[in-house]
Structure 1
Amino acid sequence: MSYVATAVVRSKDGWGAAELELTGAADIEEIADQLREVEPPADVSLLFVEADDAYLVILRLDQGEDLRVFGSDSSFADESRIGAMLLGDIEIPALEIDKALAEPDDESDERRPAADPEADPVGDADLLADLGLPAHRLLRLCAREGMLPADITAEICQAIGCGDELEELREA
């Protein structure tokens, strides 16, 4: 299974972005350590793992601590070693997609069906709320028909203020 792992970190100097290689990691703590090393004094560190144009996992560290995880679909844990490392221990279900789609959206009143009705988002869907992306909007992005994980990551980064840094990294 192919993947792209992009770290986006915010420090007192603003946002920065870097790619990470997760292949040699033994567990999620090693991945969190790699994320910490991107910018050790970072206030917020996010890792977006996009796999096979089907799955998205977001990891978050605040000041290098308090690891929080969200996954767009729990089946990623069954389909790859990386997915198992990232989502294997997640027991907290995300909000239900149907409820998230019923929530009002600041951008439109459209209700869109989930692209994959079998998708089972897991983890902390509220992990970006304080950055301006509430859980219902994150789940709505994940459920939007035709959205690839890279598209979702780009929209999230635009919404939280680091879209230019992500785009610059992807174009390099």
Structure 2
Amino acid sequence: MAVKEPVAGFAVAVVREDGRWRCQALDAGVLASLDATITELAKLRSTGALFGLLAVDDEFFVIVRPSPRGPSLLLSDAAAALDYDIAADVLDVLRVDSPEDDEAIWPEGDLDILADLGLPAPELEVIAGEENLYPDEQLQMIASRCGFGDQFVELLDEL
């Protein structure tokens, strides 16, 4: 059995309870599998908003928002599914075929995933399509727009 190389990047759980935001690091092992990410987020149980922000290998990001009826998902670059298991997992759950090539970058999934937190779909689509930004920079923009930018940056500084 081959040992898989760990995936570079970071994963952050974001929780909003009683009007306050909290960010905490998730084990980097969750970057290898969507199931692992969903399992870790489920352990955090919250009465407020709960979602995960994953920056994978300086290539793309994933937003995972668990719910009783199944996770809402956004993959910033569908072509990442050609090279990364977690991106392929996201497309599988979304029932979207992997792209044929990796020439074009486009998001796949629920662009309204954070609309209730102040980030409408058109703005999220613009952020996801920013080819000149790294995923951590895109996620910082998302965090700032939703109102937890300071907590997010503080956590990244600790990682």
Give the TM-score, by structure 1 length.
Answer: 0.74
* Counterpart for residue 83 of structure 1: 87
1:158: Cα distance to partner? 0.7
5+ residue gaps, structure 2, are 1-6
- 1:43-62 mapped onto 2 (5 Å cutoff): 43-61=48-66
Give the Cα separation in 2 of the matches to 1:28 and 1:80. Answer: 11
Give the Cα separation in 2 of the matches to 1:165 and 1:80. Answer: 28
1:145: Cα distance to partner? 4.1
Q: For residues 112-131 of structure 1, what are the alpha-carbon distances to aligned partners after superposition, in whole Å with 9 as ceiling and x for unaligned? A: xxxx9701311111111111
* Counterpart for residue 78 of structure 2: 74
Give the Cα separation in 1 of the matches to 2:132 and 2:30. Answer: 32
RMSD: 2.5
Query: For residues 24 and 145 of structure 1, do their structure 2 counterparts lie closer, same or farther at Cα, with a shift above 3 Å needed?
Result: closer
Residue identity in the other structure for 1:11 = E
SS at match of 2:14: strand
1:27: Cα distance to partner? 5.2
1:133: Cα distance to partner? 0.8
* Counterpart for residue 129 of structure 1: 115
Give the Cα separation in 1 of the matches to 2:32 and 2:11. Answer: 16
Residue identity in the other structure for 1:56 = F
Which of residues 138, 141, 146 in structure 1 aligns to 2:132? 146
1:36: Cα distance to partner? 2.3
Counterpart check, 1:10 vs 2:26: no
Give the Cα separation in 1 of the matches to 2:151 and 2:11. Answer: 15
Query: For residues 147 and 34 of structure 1, do their structure 2 counterparts lie closer, same or farther at Cα, with a shift above 3 Å needed?
Result: same
5+ residue gaps, structure 1, are 94-115
Determine what percentage of the aligned residue pairs are the same residue.
28
Give the TM-score, by structure 2 length.
Answer: 0.80
SS at match of 1:47: strand
Give the Cα separation in 1 of the matches to 2:77 and 2:63. Answer: 12
SS at match of 1:57: strand
SS at match of 1:146: coil
Equivalences, count: 148
1:92: Cα distance to partner? 5.9
